[in-house]
Each structure stands twice: as C-alpha cells, then as structure tokens.
Structure 1
Amino acid sequence: MSHMSEPVHGPAHGYADTPGLLGDDGVAAGLLRRIDRGLSAGVEIVAGLLVLAEIVVLLAGVAARYVFHTPLVWSDELASILFLWLSMLGAVVALRRGEHMRMTGLVTRVGPGTRGVLECLAITAPVAFLAMVLYHAADYAIEEQFITTPALEVSNAWRAAALPAGIALMLAAALFRLLRVGRPRSVALAALLTAVVVGAFWLAGPVLKPLGQVNLVIFFVGLVAANVFAGVPIAFSFGLSTFAYLALTTTTPMLVMVGRLDEGMSHLILLAVPLFVFLGLLIEMTGMARAMIQFLASLLGHVRGGLSYVLIGAMYLVSGISGSKVADMAAIAPVLFPEMKKRGAPPGDLVALLSATGAQTETIPPSIVLITIGSVTGVSIAALFTGGMLPGVVLGVCLCFVVWLRYRNENLSHVERTAPREIGRLALVALPALLLPFVIRAAVVEGVATATEVSTIGIAYSTLAGLLVYRQFDWRRLKPMLVETASLTGAIIFIIGCATAMAWGLTQSGFSSDLARFMAGIPGGAYGFLAISIVAFIILGSVLEGIPAIVLFGPLLFPIARAAGVHEVHYAMVVIFAMGIGLFAPPFGVGYYGACAISKVHPDEGLKHIWGYVAALLVGLVVVAAIPWISTGFLH
C-alpha cells in the first residue's frame, strides 16, 4: 500500500507529465533540475516537520490541561502561527506535484495538442495570479508587524510572513513545473493566452466599472467557469476572479483581499484537517484498518454480496476515524478488492460502490466537510458530529438494498463459512481498532479535548496500538506520510482562503442580500427551500467540490435556512449529501475519478454500474431531507 504516500493521479488530479524543457541534456537544464529538486526537498522537509510540530504542540496542550491542570496559554497561538506556514508550504508541495483540486472533464476529452496547451494553461493562470498578488501579500505582512500577539507577545508579522513566502515559493514551483512538463510550443501558447486575457481585462477596466451588478456575472460566473472548465485549479480560479473583480471594478485596496485570504486560512478549527488526514494514513500503516475489515469480512463473508456489505460498513467505520475520503478508500480497497474479484464481482461494480460509499459517509465525524461548515457558519461542531451519524446509516441502508438486488443470486458454493473460534480471534485482534472511534468521540463529549485537539489523542492511541499491539510501524513511511498530509492540507486550506476572499467580494457587492431575498421567496416553505438547495448543491458539488462550495455559499445560505425554519444541523446534512452525490457521480465528479485511481480501474468500467447506487443515494437524501429527526433527534 505504498502508493498512499504518492500523489493520486488520474483524470481528477495532477497534470499529465510530458517531456518538458528540463528534459534536455544541457548544462543549464541540469542546473535548473538540481535547483528544482533542492527547493522541492527543502519545502517538503519543512512542511512535514510543521505537521509533526502541530501534533506535538496540541498534544502537549491537552496533556498540560487535562493531566497536569496547568494549561499552556500559548499553545493555541503557536499552533495558529505554525498552521498558516504549514498551509502555505503544503500548497507549494501540492502545486509542484499537481495535486491542487481541478476539474478535468473537458481537458481529457480534447485532442493531444489542445490538451497540452490546457495543461500548461493550468499552470500559467496560477502564475499570473501569484505574480499579481505577491506584492500585496508582502505589504500585508509588513503592516502586520505593528500587531503583537497576546500570549507569545511576538510581532504578528512572523505569522503573516507565511503568505508572501508561500506565494513566492508557489510561483517558483509553478515555473519549474512548467519547464518540467510543458513542451515549448504549448508553454508559449498558454503564456500568450494568459497574457492576452489579463491584458484585455486590464484595458477593459474603465468600461467594466459602470456596469454594476453585471460584473458579478462577468467575473464570478463567466471567468470562474472559463477557468474551472479549462482545468485551472479551483483555488486559483477563485483567486484570479476575485482579484480581477476587486482591482478593476471597485476601489478596494488589494491588502483587504490578502486579509480575507489570511482570515479564511486561519480558523484554528481547520487545524483538524491535517491531523485527521495524518491519522487516516496512520491507521492504514499500522494495520488497524486491515484488522477491522478482516473481522467484518469474517462475519459477513459467507452471505451473498457479503463483502459489498463489509465495504459499506468499513467505509462507515474508517470515515469516523480519518476524516479524509482519499485515506478511507485507500485503506479499504486493497484489502477487500482482491477477494471480491476472486468471487466474480465485476471491477466496475466495486469502484462504483466504493465511490458511492464516499458520498454516503461524508457526514460521519470527524468529516473534514463538517469541520469546514462549523468554521464558516458558526454551527456547533459537537452538534454536527452528533447529527452526522444516523443520516450516514440511512444512506448505507439504501446502498445495501441495491447490493442485495444485484447479488441475490451470487454463487457461494466455494466460500467457506468462518468458524466461530476464528471470528472470536479476529474480533480480539480488531478490538483496539474498533475502539478508536469511541475513544475519539468520548474525548470530545467528556471535554478532555476540543474537536481540533482530539485527533492528536487518536494519533497517540494509533501509534501505541501500531507499536505494541499490531507490531506494525514502518518508520520509513513517516516522512512520505507527513509530506502527503501537508500537500493535501495545503490544497484544501488554500481553496478555503481563496473561496473566503471570493465570498467576501460577493457579500460586498450586495449579491448575498439579493440571493437571500430570492431564496426566501421560494414557494413551499422549508421543503421548497430544501429542494432548491439539493439541486443547487448537487451541481456545485460536481463542479467545485464540496469544500469550496460550502465556504462560498454556506455563510449566505445557512442564515436563510434558519429564517425558513430549517434546523442548521438538518440543513448541513442535506447540503453535505447533495454535494457528496455531485462529487462522487460521473461525469464531472472528482471523487469518482479518485476512487478509480485508487482501485486501478478505468473510469469507463464503473459507469454502467454506478447509476443504481446514485439512485439509492438520492432516495436516502430525500428521506433525510423529509425527516428532520434523523439529523437532529440525538441533539440535546
């Protein structure tokens, strides 16, 4: 399972590596290659160490407060400073590896020549944004030097300097990537196209200014859509459109945009993202995930479609630990798929079910989407964690029904039933792994740790279980796991930063009040509002992915949901499932291609199998939307 430490490549992630300008044998190319590798190695080491430092600082904070009753007043502040550096350096790693989230539905369907230009455009467009925003980020860091942090009493410039440093390093990483993967002609055409578009908008500034609200359509619909469909990473699509809108049609200083970017990336609650991602990789590496799945397989392996039920159950259990869909799928697929294929299950059906369970388990705590909703809307994360358990079961039952229909005539004559003694042995082996979700939830409920800190308890528990119980702890894999965590964190948090800046631009324009009036006027009251939200978020989830869609529209729509009489936790569950269905359903859903990449199955093989599962998810979503108690019944 070593591939988890490498970038996930497929139609959803990454850029097609082609021999670029750095492939030459010349002295200059060799020197540039060495600089590129040295810079990359340096950033990866620092980013990995920052993940480690965050774990140590937060775990020390929990121990000092709960065990020694002497809280470390500076721990949260130090964690916050390190987190901005981790997010920016992680974004650099993600850019160099081509791991920033992007939609490649169009890019994969064009000819090789056009595709080469679009792949280069996906790098030259971010270069344009980074080059334009770098000066303002440096200016922002200089302004922040006059603010002193309350606990550590150091200049806030130490934290804010992460923005210009990260942007400068991203610029370098993007230029090197362009040299590494782009053919000279494609690079020249992409650079020319980027320059022409930037120049045209700049010259059109005086014409655009008087257009008022029409500019929202030009920049936040037209320009964003053009970038997203051309395969430009979503974060940079948002950043470019927001920068262009504010610079060309308003008098807002660009310092304010950098401030909003900083604000979006600085919610301390988002620290849970890297910690839970790392925890997911850790339970896979220590063998805990495998132990859990083997126990479930021993219980249900002799039932028709039994291993498909195990897949649904395992995704539910593992999602409750890792919080990362990529980590979940990568922990489960290699354990179950070989045996399922041996029993005659078509690979296309396996990848379709894996993708569907990705959507089904989006609300299982500690889901990163739940944490994001809590951070941008102010809804209690403890309430979201409590409310997310039962809706996942409802969708799981719907998926089980489709499995039962498909496998009810499966031939199991060659499958032996596991002996009770063996089931007991596997249960004993799996017990530490099965207890982990309960340890995590108990720590939050009992007030031992916050939703952000609790993952460090999970990490300590998993490390001890790996070393002492499972005797499976590969120290060589720690560095790739830390770098993988930093990369995924950078990609996610940078999107949240850019989406926060874009949401602020939309709010300043008066769009949010117009949207509120429109949504409030929808007939059908609460259910009419929920129906419109479901359709909107399925579309948004397929195009933007869940997290940017939530950051962009959550702060606008949650207050309207409240006014329409929809409970916030209920609305969160409905919205998350709608986005999950969009995210994991082809042809645009990025999650579907991620499942294909992890399963090593061609996307076309899953297409004829997935629609039954998508229908089941939609039925489950309607049930969850129609019965608020499913989401709110266990809240105090």
Structure 2
Amino acid sequence: MTLALFLSLIFFFIINIPIAISIALASIAAILVKGNIPLVVVVQKMFTATDSFPLMAVPFFILAGSLMEFGGISRRLVDFANTIVGRLSGGLALVSIIASMFFGAISGAAAATVAAIGTILIPAMVRRGYDRSFATAVQATAGTLGVMIPPSIPMVIYGVLTGVSIGALFIGGILPGILVGVSLMLVAYKISKDRGYKGDEKVGFNKILMAFKDAILALLMPVIILGGIYGGVFTPTEAAVVAVVYGFIIGFFIYKELKLEHLKDILTNAVVSTAMIMFIIATASVFGWLLASEQIPQVVANALLSISRNPIVILALINILLLFIGTFMETVAAIIILVPVFLPVITQIGVDPLHFGLIIVVNLAIGMVTPPLGVCLFVGCGIANIKLEDITRAVWPFLIAMIVDIILITYIPAISTFLPKMLGM
C-alpha cells in the first residue's frame, strides 16, 4: 500500500493535478490497493480533521487580512514605513519589507501579504527605476514574513496537530520573523546601493509623527491580538474574530475607505481561500493517517536515528528535506503530512516541539519563494506582469540570506524559545 500511495502521488504531481486533489486520489488509490478499508473512512477522516475549534482561526485571519487591504490599512503601513527608511538607498525596497512585517502581524498568510503590499510597492519601485525582477523578488520574499510573524496560519495548524500552545508559537515567532526581515533588508540595501537606487529626501520628525498617528490604529492590531492571547482575555481563535471586528470598524467607520460594495469581494476571497486550505487539511489528514497506519513515522525515525543520534546531524537532515519538499508542496499539506513523521524523531533527540514548530514554519516559508513552484513568486509575477524565469536570478540572494537564517534559528533555540520562556508560556 505504501508504494501505491507514493507512486500515485508522484504521478498526479507530474501530470499537474492540484495538490489537494492529488493527495486525495493517491490516498484513495492506496486504500483500493489494500482492499480491506471501506472508502467511507476517507470521508470520516476528512470531516474529523476539519471539525476543530482552533482551526476556525484560519478563515477569520484570512478575512481580517482582506479587510485590512480594502480598508486602507496596508497603504498607511506603507506610508509609515516610508517615513522611517524611505531616505536610504533602496528605500522603497526596504519599505516593502518593513510594511510586509507590519502586515504579516495582521494577516497570517504569505500570499495575502505579497498581494496587499505588492500591489502598492512593486509598481512604485518600477516607476522609480528599480529593475522589475528585483522589485518583484523583494516583495515575494518579504511576503513570507506573513507566516513567520504572528499571527500565522501554519502555526495554528502545527499547534492543532501537536498540542503545542498556539499562543506560545505566536510569541516564539516574533524574533525569527524579525531576524529574517532584517536579513532581507540588508540584502536589499546592498543590492540597491550597488545599483544606485536612491531613496527619498529626508523627512522631518513632524512628518514621521503624522504618519505614525495615521497608522497607529493598524499598528495596534497585533498588540491587541497578542496581548489578548497572552493576557488570557481570549484564545487564538477568538483573537482572529476580534481582528475581523477591529478591522471592519477601523476600515468602515474610522478610515471610511471600506465600502459596502467591497464586502462581496472580501467575503468571496475569504471563502475561496478558506475552502482551499480546509480541503488541503482534510485530504492531507487522510494521507497522514495512511502513513501512520503503515508505521511510516516509526520507519523514518528509525532510519534517521540509525544515521546519527546527534541533534545537530538530525536537524540538518530534516532541514534539507524540508527545504526540498517546500519547493513543490503547499505549506499546510506539508505540515500535516510531515509533522507526525518527524515529531517522534525530534522528541527522542530532545528538541523542544515549540522550537521545532518554528523551524518547520520558516523552512516551508522559504519554499514559498523557491523556484519552480513558490506560491509567493507566482503572486509577485502576476502583480509585476513578468514571467517566472525573469525573477529566478533576482530571488537567489534573498534565498541565501533566508537559508542562513534558518541555520541560525535551528541551532540557536533561544531565538525561538526566549520570549515564550520569559513570558512563562
């Protein structure tokens, strides 16, 4: 059955069937080969996987991100970031990264971050003389900060699977997200300096203060979300609902840029995105159950531990595998399938599951901008109206910086665990 499962999955990938349907068809094929499992089990497992209160955070964080985009909040975040770093060489590239960090602290999704900030800044960078592929590469890689900086939909999925506190994962993701953000800024600054991309004129303190006042309500959102979770006021799922209500009030009643006619597009986007994620979760759970029934996690654990019991070696091997898988598999599906496989291994070598969760999230985020199938690359190329091959060369300096970051995050656990431990989580 195991052979049928993997061969059929590879075949469906090759003929370009969507990931969720490929996983479902491969699972059904394996069940038919085994012959003693009724197909109704597929439906039962799919329903059980999505029947989860914590997973309700997913549609609400998606909806909150859409409300922020249409409500004028992304533009205000860009304006505020521009007053901070816009005067430096490559100022707009740096603004793109900082604004993505701010927006990532609201949306929890990478593609949404690329779309929300990229529609503003990619055309702006091109108009200022930036190379189109460079501008797209900056925004695509910056978009991955949407899943590293809390709230994060992949962190929610990991927490549901492992029982690790989602609040602790959110807090733990702050420093890794900042590390990656700063690294991307350094690369963008160096390239911009070499190419002569100049910044804006220096702005006075009063203009910075005005931009801050205009963006303060947007900047308060992650404070409310994380503060409410840590303070025990609400759960991560309830925090997502609070984010939706807050985003609607700010966009509709205060900024007054969110219109009733926008709601159709906002809700449609949220429903479609949620349906895609939930379908992947449902089908991947069946795939994961079949792997568990064939004791694949134990086989993988034994194979890895037979190579070495040194945590440094094991984590290096896992990182390599995650980086490879992230290039062609959707993040949510990869988490659901791989976490049950690797969790027994990291438990035996003494790695904190919280730390490991952030290793997985950052690794798979890198996959979102790794050719040929990085989802953030496709979103960025769509905005910039360029082909994928045009961006491939431009994205590599940023990818190298992110790989260095994941090495640091992997082998310096305090980057992930310091804040949760300090806050007693």
With the length of structure 1 as denominator, give the TM-score of the two structures. Answer: 0.64
CA drift of 1:523 comes to: 1.6
Give the whole-Å Cα distance in 2 for the aligned partners of 1:291 and 1:538: 34
Give the whole-Å Cα distance in 1 for the aligned partners of 2:6 and 2:38: 23
Please name the residue that 1:489 is paired with: 274
Q: Pick from 429, 433, 440: which aligns with 2:218?
A: 433
* Structure 1 position 420 matched with structure 2 position 205: yes
Give the whole-Å Cα distance in 2 for the aligned partners of 1:587 and 1:469: 42
Please name the residue that 2:120 is paired with: 335
Higher gyration radius (CA): 1
CA change 1:349–1:254 in 2 (3 A) is: same
Aligned 1:29-68 pairs, distance under 5 A: none
Q: Pick from 556, 565, 568: which aligns with 2:353?
A: 568
CA contact (8 A) 1:540 1:546 kept: no
Give the whole-Å Cα distance in 1 for the aligned partners of 2:255 and 2:289: 49
The amino acid across from 1:444 in the alignment is I
CA change 1:413–1:291 in 2 (3 A) is: closer
The amino acid across from 1:538 in the alignment is L
CA contact (8 A) 2:61 2:240 kept: yes
CA contact (8 A) 2:8 2:29 kept: no
Please name the residue that 1:349 is paired with: 134
CA change 1:615–1:435 in 2 (3 A) is: same
CA drift of 1:414 comes to: 8.3
Give the whole-Å Cα distance in 1 for the aligned partners of 2:14 and 2:288: 20
Please name the residue that 1:358 is paired with: 143
Give the whole-Å Cα distance in 1 for the aligned partners of 2:359 and 2:197: 38
CA drift of 1:571 comes to: 1.0
For each residue in 1:198-239, what CA deviation from the matched residue of structure 2 results, as whole angstroms up to 9, or x when unmatched? xxxxxxxxxxxxxxxxx312x222110110121111111111
CA drift of 1:360 comes to: 4.2
* Structure 1 position 311 matched with structure 2 position 96: yes
Q: Pick from 438, 455, 462: which aligns with 2:240?
A: 455
The amino acid across from 1:331 in the alignment is A
* Structure 1 position 544 matched with structure 2 position 293: no
CA contact (8 A) 1:506 1:512 kept: yes
CA contact (8 A) 1:311 1:332 kept: yes
For each residue in 1:262-307, what CA deviation from the matched residue of structure 2 results, as whole angstroms up to 9, or x when unmatched? 1112122111111011100101111111111101102211111122
Please name the residue that 1:4 is paired with: none
Q: Pick from 346, 349, 372: which aligns with 2:157?
A: 372
CA contact (8 A) 1:304 1:409 kept: no
* Structure 1 position 256 matched with structure 2 position 41: yes
CA change 1:360–1:291 in 2 (3 A) is: closer
CA change 1:406–1:528 in 2 (3 A) is: same
The amino acid across from 1:602 in the alignment is K
CA contact (8 A) 2:23 2:284 kept: yes
Q: Pick from 27, 43, 53: which aligns with 1:242?
A: 27
**Could you say what secondary structure the match of 2:339 adopts?**
helix
CA drift of 1:410 comes to: 5.5
Aligned 1:159-238 pairs, distance under 5 A: 215-217=1-3, 219-238=4-23
CA contact (8 A) 1:530 1:571 kept: no
CA change 1:578–1:414 in 2 (3 A) is: closer
User: Which one has more relative contact order, counting CA pairs under 8 Å at least 6 apart?
Assistant: 2
For each residue in 1:362-386, what CA deviation from the matched residue of structure 2 results, as whole angstroms up to 9, or x when unmatched? 2211111101111112211111111
* Structure 1 position 281 matched with structure 2 position 66: yes
CA contact (8 A) 1:535 1:578 kept: no
CA contact (8 A) 1:539 1:579 kept: no
Please name the residue that 1:529 is paired with: 314
For each residue in 1:438-478, what CA deviation from the matched residue of structure 2 results, as whole angstroms up to 9, or x when unmatched? 01111111222110111111111122212332121211010
CA drift of 1:631 comes to: 0.5
CA drift of 1:415 comes to: 3.6
Gaps of 5+ in 2: none
CA drift of 1:604 comes to: 2.4
CA change 1:403–1:248 in 2 (3 A) is: same
**Could you say what secondary structure the match of 2:356 adopts?**
helix
CA contact (8 A) 1:369 1:547 kept: yes
CA contact (8 A) 1:503 1:551 kept: yes
Please name the residue that 1:119 is paired with: none
CA change 1:502–1:407 in 2 (3 A) is: same
**Could you say what secondary structure the match of 1:345 adopts?**
coil
The amino acid across from 2:357 in the alignment is A
The amino acid across from 2:258 in the alignment is F
Give the whole-Å Cα distance in 1 for the aligned partners of 2:300 and 2:412: 26
CA drift of 1:602 comes to: 2.5
CA contact (8 A) 2:298 2:344 kept: no
CA contact (8 A) 1:382 1:451 kept: yes
CA contact (8 A) 2:175 2:416 kept: yes
CA change 1:361–1:622 in 2 (3 A) is: farther
* RMSD between superposed Cα atoms in Å: 1.7
**Could you say what secondary structure the match of 1:453 adopts?**
helix
Taking only the aligned residue pairs, the percentage that are identical comes to 29
Give the whole-Å Cα distance in 2 for the aligned partners of 1:588 and 1:484: 22
CA contact (8 A) 1:538 1:580 kept: no
CA contact (8 A) 1:402 1:612 kept: yes
Please name the residue that 2:192 is paired with: 407
The amino acid across from 1:459 in the alignment is V
Please name the residue that 1:144 is paired with: none
Aligned 1:267-278 pairs, distance under 5 A: 267-278=52-63
CA contact (8 A) 2:90 2:198 kept: no
For each residue in 1:154-188, what CA deviation from the matched residue of structure 2 results, as whole angstroms up to 9, or x when unmatched? xxxxxxxxxxxxxxxxxxxxxxxxxxxxxxxxxxx
With the length of structure 2 as denominator, give the TM-score of the two structures. Answer: 0.95
